[in-house]
């Protein structure tokens, strides 16, 4: 009797299970006075081998019912119940896989963005280094600057800046 699952958390093993009067299966942790699936006040029947035969049949292989003498419970009722349970699980896992796919896309997108940001950061860092070098260069006296032309040396500047009237006789 292990084909079913908790209709709330989709647990399959490792817990006791019960079926509610509203037809939902819950694990021990999900059993509440009001059904966690449909919200109706319900009673629970523990799913065990000690269930009455007319209760237990719903968890049995419908094919085996050929051998049973339960006229009031039809084979299709049982098959319907089990099919609904299966559909529930299928829908749940389908939804899960869609969610996971979406999440994977997000993560891929994020790692792409992180790579972009890292590249930008590296660019900014090297630009920052360049600016620091430029600043250091600007702080040096004119004469020590890389490639400063000779005509800009102090004495020549002074000579040039003398008023023309004073320089001429």
Task: For the CB of residue 89, give the shortest distance to Zn ion in the complex, in Å.
Answer: 12
Task: For the CB of residue 33, give the shortest distance to Zn ion in the complex, in Å.
Answer: 12
Helix (H, G, I), strand (E, B) or coil at 128: helix
Give the other-Cβ count within 10 Å of 86's Cβ: 13
Q: Which residues bind Zn ion (CB under 5 A)?
A: 6, 8-9, 11, 22, 24, 27, 30, 35, 37-38
Q: What are phi and psi of 19, to 5 degrees?
A: -110, 135
Of 10 and 68, which CB lies nearer to Zn ion in the complex structure?
10
Task: For the CB of residue 8, give the shortest distance to Zn ion in the complex, in Å.
Answer: 4
**Cα separation of 37 and 26, whole Å?**
9
Of 11 and 51, which CB lies nearer to Zn ion in the complex structure?
11
**Cα separation of 101 and 70, whole Å?**
46
**Cα separation of 45 and 7, whole Å?**
15
Of 21 and 113, which CB lies nearer to Zn ion in the complex structure?
21
- How does DSSP assign 57-109, residue by residue? GGGS-GGGGGGS--TTS-HHHHHHHHHHHHHHHHHHHHHHHHHHHHHHHHHHH
Of 5 and 62, which CB lies nearer to Zn ion in the complex structure?
5
Task: For the CB of residue 42, give the shortest distance to Zn ion in the complex, in Å.
Answer: 6
Of 9 and 65, which CB lies nearer to Zn ion in the complex structure?
9
Task: For the CB of residue 3, give the shortest distance to Zn ion in the complex, in Å.
Answer: 16
């Amino acid at each position: 009797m292990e084909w079913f699952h908790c209709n709330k958390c989709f647990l399959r093993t490792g817990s006791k299970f019960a079926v509610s009067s509203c037809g939902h299966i819950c694990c021990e942790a999900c059993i509440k006075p009001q059904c966690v699936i449909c919200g109706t006040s319900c009673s629970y029947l523990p799913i065990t081998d000690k269930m009455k035969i007319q209760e237990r049949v719903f968890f049995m292989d419908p094919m085996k019912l050929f051998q049973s003498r339960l006229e009031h419970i039809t084979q299709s009722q049982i098959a319907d119940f089990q099919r609904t349970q299966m559909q529930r699980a299928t829908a749940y896992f389908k939804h899960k896989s869609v969610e996971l796919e979406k999440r994977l896309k997000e993560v891929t997108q994020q790692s792409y963005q992180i790579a972009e940001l890292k590249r930008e950061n590296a660019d900014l860092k090297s630009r920052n280094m360049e600016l620091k070098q430029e600043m250091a260069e600007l702080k040096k006296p004119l004469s020590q600057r890389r490639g400063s032309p000779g005509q800009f040396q102090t004495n020549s500047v002074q000579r040039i800046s003398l008023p023309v009237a004073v320089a001429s006789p």
